[in-house]
Structure 1
Amino acid sequence: MNKDLFNENQETFVSPNAKAFVVVPNLPEILSPLLAIANNVWWCWNSDAVELFRRLDRDLWEETYHNPKAMLGMIKQETLAALSEDDSFVSHMERVKGELDKYMSMNTWYHDSCSDYADMKFAYFSTEFAIHESLPIYSGGLGILSGDHLKSASDMGLPLVGVGLLYRYGYFKQYLNSDGIQQEEYNENHFELMPLELVKDKKNEPLIITIDIPKEKISARVWKLQVGRVPLYLLDTDFSKNSKEVREITGELYGGDRNMRIRQEILLGVGGVKLLKALNIDPGVIHINEGHSAFLLLEKMREYIEDEGLSQAEAFQLVQSGCVFTTHTPVPAGNEIFGADLVTRYFEPMYKKLGFSAEQFLALGSFPAKNLKMGNPSDFSMTILALKMTNKANGVSRLHATVAREMWSGIWPGLPRKEIPITHITNGIHTNTWISYEFAGLFDRYLGAAWKDEPADHTIWQRVAHIPDAELWRSHERRRERLVSFARARLKHQLKRRGLSEIMSSYADEVLDPEALTIGFARRFASYKRGNLIFKDLERIKKIITSKEHPVQIIIAGKAHPQDGVGKEIIKQIVSLANDPELKYKVVFLEDYDMNVAHYLVQGADIWLNNPLRPEEASGTSGMKAAVNGALNFSVLDGWWCEGYNGDNGWTIGSIDEYSDREYQDEVESKAIYDTLEKEIVPLFYARGIDGIPRGWTKKMKMSMQTLGPVFNTNRMIEEYAKKFYITSALSHEKLKKNKFEAAKKKAQWLINVRNNWKDVHVVKVEDNINGEISVFGDMSVTARVYIGSLNPEDVSVQIFSGFINSKQVVSSQETYEMRLVSKEGNDFIFEGKVFADKVGRCGYTVRILPQCGGEVQYISELIKWQ
């Protein structure tokens, strides 16, 4: 299998004894700023910097897949000499270098808004980061989100460091054979040709992180990628010090068997914590982005126990207070699990150091009885480990948080769904990364330059209304034309690769119409995303697509996981349909979906189609990227679209109804797609004025950008994480660490005491002053007699839990009211409180007891007592 980056036909020869050395660019002194710019990927979201590197050599720019560092090493010396004499180019370079220097030194949102916390540091762990197409160490949505997270953290001055893995072969490159079956190819990443710096120790030797695993030792080098102001540290095991098996750990993203996956996640979690320690970075909070890195929680516990002499309970409190977690998918397969035997084999030395028995250790990641549909009793869930050992957790949209609370409710038995401690922070996009050059120009003229620095400012986005319809439409048409041109060229390359002759592949030059309504669909080809739903009724979609008066076309892209046979079959079906004589010029499947392909699609499509099975799409972000580029979303009400759709800024597919019959659901929702296309979307797109402008369509485009642009961006998202998760958690963590961990020790002892005595806690008797009815807006008094054994009253929170109540005693529209201690009678404590009747109807209440520490209610698994 060929793994060369640039030349697929280059012959290779294996020479085990060859000595390796690195050749570095040799730039004229006047052009030395080019290397400084290339080594900070800030350039990839600065259009002026991108144009600077394109000017170097446009052919080489494409040949290196838009990689400035590689370009500088490959460009001819005579070209560099000529550029050094080109005053225009030198001036352009100096301007960009000045912009970078200004960016790195200017005040930021965090400096201005969070100056009291200037000394804090935060760490962000993710198994993949998508920064740019020239750094192919990502797969899809999780990586895109992680990359955008770092970029906005940089823009906003958040004191963040990223931690991940550097994959030698990354994720696979996709190509289709002549039968339309997906094939996978892994190309080697040449780290020396990427904007990476090998981190050195005090002796100027490569910094090596070591991890002991059974019968072996993992050694990892560390590379730094500078993402604007944010350093991203990446661990790499592919070097000569390691055995072949260890070198392969950072070979492929999501590759290998379960043994390989657990090794990767040990390296990311355990190795990542060791890396931060080696760099003297002590983050106040660690953000676990999906469960892959959750083993870091165990390594942090080990640090506190061995380095600080703390007990297991004390270390647990400190780790929990300083870590937060984001879960990204409601799909069971997306939540990493390992067999108990495998986890035990790798972690037996660790859990013994932590003072756990095998049973206690496995319980940290075991599935509660209620959640066995998610996994087997013997499975160890990384999501459960993260939920149990962090102090805050979130889903990535409001609906996803609701689904996640239901999914993982077994961890908190007895706690109402609404109160399960999983909140939501909805995903966003890094607007500057995804906006087209044409629309950026429009925004500069009509929104003002501030849109780049303050993309979450609603007042700025309201100025979209000032963009003349004609300018908006012409800019969008240019992007559609670019998309069609790109799709034609890529399709031709695909056909030739499959063995078609120049003549037989020449039809690619004529596919698609640059003026036709263009639907974009691009995402991972998992079965729940239903990539072929639009083709459910083939005759009906053919009728829509082949209309001579109002033509419609579809451009599709996406990869299936190498082991996902169903996803591959869907791709094969679509490719077969694209070869249908009636659809051949109207439906195109683009191979090897990556960030570059995504840019063309989200910037050039008119409609962005999204039809997952609700509620399995946790968030989705491709529709957000399309929206800021003027495309209109046409989506199932799932993920982010539940929050984004307002009735005037796009279209929905179907309703929020749930179906037990998948085939029936597909039939209903595919029909909804056809109906909306025929009755609303197509007529609106082709309703042109005398000047050729579809003013109804441009009105909807503006509404979409005005309402979605300021909300669904990672600047807003970062601000939420900073204020709701990072700073509050860091303050709590710091409080526990003060005075030689005094507060941590007290809280640990408090929890031990509460757990030991909770079995005795119960509600003895409840009385009230109501006799059947109460007037709305009135109140009633409730008295509760409770027994708390040897606990103190300040150890518990006694609450009234009320709301509407149905015939099955199910309480909805829930409210809680804190009760106050009024007296002690014998061994019982008397608490009083009031219920306020602000709703009309059949209501009810009950009393419950929860643990409380330092005046804060604690939601702890199994520690809740109901009346």
Structure 2
Amino acid sequence: MIAYFAMEIGLEDRIPTYSGGLGTLAGDTLYAYADIGIPAVGITLLYKKGYVSQKITPSGMQLDFDTPWDYKKILKPTNLQLQISFGELVQEFTAWEYSIIGREEIKVFFLDASLPNNHPEIRKLNDRLYYDDGILRLRQEILLGIGGYRLLKALGYNISVYHINESHSAFLVVELIKELGSKEEVRKKCVFTTHTPVPAGHDKFPVDMVKQELKSYDHIDWDKEAEEGFINLSKLSLNYSGKVNAVSYKHMFVSSNLFPECSVFSEGYCKMDYVTNGVYHKRWIHREIQELFNEYIPGWDENPILLGQAYYIPSELLLKAHMRIKSDLVNLVNKLTDSSFSDDVFTICVARRVTAYKRNNLILSDIERLKYIAEHNGDMQIIFAGKAHPKDTFGKEMIADIIHKSKKLKEMTKSIKVAFLENYSIEMAKLLVAGCDVWLNNPRRPYEACGTSGMKAGMNGVLNFSTWDGWWLEGGIEGINGWGIGPKPKWDDLSESNDKEDLEDIYGKLAHIILPMFYRRKDEWVRMMKNSIATIGPYFNTYRMAYEYLGKIYQIGLR
């Protein structure tokens, strides 16, 4: 049995307790495990106010609101009450249950310490996802790791492998050491997946704060675990895991540099491996495209490697299906904004979390140049969507810049229309990844650990236009299933992107390759759509990913 721990698990929009890629990947993973029949259980936290509800003011400011939801109607109570300590406070917690039904029924448990008799500060732990990075976050992670471990014990689960996703649940090793007696024994049961090279993904806390909150655990010398006065949870996870993996081949080299004690070149117990992410194809391929697959590629849903046979689909039917989806997307944009989009205009989508390294607004850097390209090569529509974290000032400034530039473009030309859609979500993403013509992803290299949104787009026949980083370095074939942005680096090249160089590539390829093909060589365009499905679908799915975890990573506890 695999215990899959994650701070956020994106299962459906009715459960708004996810913020982005990590959460949707966790959901996709557990759906695939259920289908394949991998015995697993998911552990996460209940956030009664969700992540964040986004409202953009006319000036472009993002306002943040709670997202309350009726969890009692969606989740089932376990009626368990267990104890957990935070410093001197002995508190109680319970859990709520969600079931994923497949060949295997997988239960996802949402831990809840917001009980009436608990201390008010402890009840706050279940307010909101990523609400704080101080003692509240530390306590959330104690609840996730230690509380999750205790819940599984109380429910009688026999866990072979504890899968720590990002380092948020690292404190589960505290309980394992107490049970198993040594670091070596703990390593036989723990695996750690690092999902990002960005510092925000690697929580660390002052050692004195950790000692205070975990004072009832005197079997760990926290001073020995500390570095420069801090407990780094990623380092803690590395130290107590028998297998450690990155989420793409490129990310393995980036992570090796970040954690030299566990690099791909290491000869010790800990050697960095990789399993490239995938997406749950049944969730992300649009129903219109699914109907075509059912007719021309029967069996694709149970055996996604068959998506390599996308060439059997008649071109005119694939294009018509795409245009029906695009029409739905255009109708949504026009319903939610005053952008006046049209079905027949080339449409780019930029939809993801809004934060500095993702450079969400890069394409709008030179709107005079963009105007010239559109007026001389064909009209463009650009859809932006994504939330900035409430405390990410730079991310919020990027949203304001997008809104400001879109207004200026509206005054300057009729050839470019820009829309920003509020409250990017799983359901909205399902339409965006299938309805646009090009999926633009231009993060600053080498900070895109993997990226999965482009995989979703590619399986729907939408063409990728992406920085050569993460999964695209493995899956992208220039001019065949999409286009790259900037130089294509060697695997161990950790140099950063140059904004000007990447922008020149974006503008140059739009003007000379992408727009001319879209408007004047539609047969070539549809051929690339088929290439996209055939090259991306068979490999970049969670079925393949799940089998790789079984073979490469979970083997430590399944021997």
* Residues 397 and 427 in structure 1, CA contact (< 8 A), matched pair in contact too: yes
Misfit runs of 4+, over 4 Å? 417-420, 657-662
Matches within 5 A, 1:457-476: 457=305, 460-476=306-322
Matches within 5 A, 1:841-852: none
Counterpart residue type for residue 144 of structure 1: T
* Residues 367 and 405 in structure 2, CA contact (< 8 A), matched pair in contact too: no
Instruction: Select 1:268's aligned residue among 137, 144, 147.
Output: 144
1:207 equivalenced with 2:57 (yes/no): no
State which structure, 1 or 2, has the greater radius of gyration over its C-alpha atoms: 1
- CA displacement 1:423-469 (0-9 Å, x = unmatched): 11000000010111100000001001x111111x2xx2232101111
Q: Which residue of 2 aligns with 1:730?
A: 557
Q: Which residue of 1 aligns with 2:396?
A: 568
Root mean square deviation, CA, Å: 1.8
Task: Give the secondary-structure state (helix, strand or coil) at the position aligned to 1:225.
Answer: strand
**1:660 to 1:398, Cα distance in 2 relative to 1, 3 A:** closer
Counterpart residue type for residue 387 of structure 1: L
- Provide the C-alpha distance between the structure 2 equivalents of 1:622 and 1:187, rounded to a whole number of angstroms: 24
1:411 to partner: Cα distance: 5.7
Q: Which residue of 2 aligns with 1:299?
A: 175
Q: Which residue of 1 aligns with 2:291?
A: 441
* Residues 249 and 474 in structure 2, CA contact (< 8 A), matched pair in contact too: yes
- Provide the C-alpha distance between the structure 1 equivalents of 2:291 and 2:367, rounded to a whole number of angstroms: 41
* Residues 687 and 696 in structure 1, CA contact (< 8 A), matched pair in contact too: no
1:158 equivalenced with 2:38 (yes/no): yes
* Residues 168 and 238 in structure 1, CA contact (< 8 A), matched pair in contact too: no
1:358 to partner: Cα distance: 4.1
TM-score (norm: length of structure 1): 0.62
1:723 to partner: Cα distance: 1.6
- Provide the C-alpha distance between the structure 2 equivalents of 1:326 and 1:348, rounded to a whole number of angstroms: 28
- Provide the C-alpha distance between the structure 1 equivalents of 2:29 and 2:41, rounded to a whole number of angstroms: 11
Counterpart residue type for residue 582 of structure 1: M
- Provide the C-alpha distance between the structure 1 equivalents of 2:290 and 2:222, rounded to a whole number of angstroms: 57
Task: Give the secondary-structure state (helix, strand or coil) at the position aligned to 1:559.
Answer: coil
Q: Which residue of 2 aligns with 1:524?
A: 353
**1:416 to 1:467, Cα distance in 2 relative to 1, 3 A:** closer
1:210 to partner: Cα distance: 1.2
Is 382-391 or 402-411 further displaced after alignment?
A: 402-411
* Residues 363 and 506 in structure 2, CA contact (< 8 A), matched pair in contact too: yes
1:646 to partner: Cα distance: 2.1
- CA displacement 1:207-264 (0-9 Å, x = unmatched): 0121012121231111110012211111112231222211111110000341100000
* Residues 15 and 71 in structure 2, CA contact (< 8 A), matched pair in contact too: no
Task: Give the secondary-structure state (helix, strand or coil) at the position aligned to 1:338.
Answer: strand
* Residues 442 and 467 in structure 2, CA contact (< 8 A), matched pair in contact too: yes
Percent identity (aligned): 39
Q: Which residue of 1 aligns with 2:539?
A: 711
1:635 equivalenced with 2:489 (yes/no): no
1:582 equivalenced with 2:431 (yes/no): no
- Provide the C-alpha distance between the structure 1 equivalents of 2:195 and 2:331, rounded to a whole number of angstroms: 35
**1:128 to 1:358, Cα distance in 2 relative to 1, 3 A:** closer
- Provide the C-alpha distance between the structure 1 equivalents of 2:391 and 2:15, rounded to a whole number of angstroms: 24
Instruction: Select 2:367's aligned residue among 538, 547, 565.
Output: 538
Counterpart residue type for residue 198 of structure 2: V
1:151 to partner: Cα distance: 0.3
1:679 equivalenced with 2:512 (yes/no): yes
1:346 to partner: Cα distance: 1.3
Q: Which residue of 2 aligns with 1:429?
A: 279
- CA displacement 1:126-156 (0-9 Å, x = unmatched): 0101011111111111000000000000110
* Residues 123 and 287 in structure 1, CA contact (< 8 A), matched pair in contact too: yes
1:218 equivalenced with 2:64 (yes/no): no
Task: Give the secondary-structure state (helix, strand or coil) at the position aligned to 2:301.
Answer: helix
Q: Which residue of 2 aligns with 1:381?
A: 232
Q: Which residue of 2 aligns with 1:621?
A: 452
- CA displacement 1:136-180 (0-9 Å, x = unmatched): 111111000000000000110100111111110110101112211
1:451 equivalenced with 2:318 (yes/no): no
* Residues 3 and 163 in structure 2, CA contact (< 8 A), matched pair in contact too: yes
1:282 equivalenced with 2:111 (yes/no): no
Task: Give the secondary-structure state (helix, strand or coil) at the position aligned to 1:482.
Answer: helix
* Residues 207 and 223 in structure 2, CA contact (< 8 A), matched pair in contact too: no
- Provide the C-alpha distance between the structure 2 equivalents of 1:341 and 1:522, rounded to a whole number of angstroms: 40
Q: Which residue of 1 aligns with 2:57?
A: 177
Q: Which residue of 2 aligns with 1:406?
A: 257
**1:731 to 1:630, Cα distance in 2 relative to 1, 3 A:** closer
Task: Give the secondary-structure state (helix, strand or coil) at the position aligned to 1:561.
Answer: coil
If asked which structure has higher relative contact order (CA below 8 Å, sep 6+), I would say: 2
* Residues 285 and 456 in structure 2, CA contact (< 8 A), matched pair in contact too: yes
* Residues 262 and 272 in structure 2, CA contact (< 8 A), matched pair in contact too: no
TM-score (norm: length of structure 2): 0.95
- CA displacement 1:492-532 (0-9 Å, x = unmatched): xxxxxxxxxxxxxxxx2x61111111001111111011111
1:641 to partner: Cα distance: 0.1
1:512 equivalenced with 2:341 (yes/no): yes
Matches within 5 A, 1:741-756: none
Gap regions ≥5 residues in structure 1: 1-120, 200-205, 305-311, 367-376, 492-507, 689-693, 733-867
- Provide the C-alpha distance between the structure 1 equivalents of 2:371 and 2:487, rounded to a whole number of angstroms: 25
